[in-house]
Amino acid sequence: MRLDHYISQVHLKKFYSPELGDRMYAIRKSDLKQFKPNSGAVCGISDGSANTYLRENREIEEFLKTIEPNYNTALDKLMTEKIDAECIYTIAGFVAYVISCSPAGMRIHSGPLKSTVEATAAMIDAQGLLPPPSTLGGANLTDLLHSGKVKVTVDPKYPQAIGISSTRRSTATFGNYKQQF
């Protein structure tokens, strides 16, 4: 299995401490202990970029080839206020990728899908189209969901696939945004 970084190592290296050389200060979420990793040791998931819901399992990697090599240059342009189209594309693409592929993004985007399935179950029940299963006490699906006997779980890779499929559109949306005053 490959370790895929949902925050690029190019970005993470910006957090290296001068005192630590090729390392940064970090806090592990699981136990709140401080540690000093390099960029390769954090913000990665085994096969995190692989997604079997997509026709091309690792489709996002082609997109990232247009973002990651330009990331440091884009940040330099932002800091010196020499923003151009490549800079905007790179930063917008980076944001679109993180929104789609980070664990938080996948978790956040799972909620609406779960709610959609539950609402659809309620509509189907209301129309009498789904007979109550006798093996679960004869209660309808809506009641089973409300009681907690049945739960809807969303594979986080599914909203990730939706996000990956719309990454280019999100990049264009972010890159073409104009604030109205």
- The answer as to whether 181 is a domain residue is no
24-83 pLDDT, tens digit per residue, is 999 998 999 999 999 999 999 888 889 999 999 999 999 999 999 999 999 999 999 999
- Write the CB contacts of 122 (distance below 8 Å, at least 6 apart in sequence): 142
Residues 39 and 75 in one domain: no
Residue 181 has pLDDT above 70, yes or no: no
Compute the distance between CA of residue 67 and CA of residue 14 in angstroms, rounded to an integer: 16
Residues 12 and 57 in one domain: no
Four-point Cα dihedral 26, 28, 34, 40, nearest 10: -40
126-135 pLDDT, tens digit per residue, is 998 888 877 7
| pTM for this prediction | 0.81
Q: Which domain holds residue 163?
A: 49-175
Q: Distance of CA 155 to CAs 13, 14, 16, 119, 159, Å?
A: 31, 32, 34, 18, 8
The encoded tokens of residue 59 equal: 């489709």
6-28 pLDDT, tens digit per residue, is 888 888 999 999 999 999 999 99
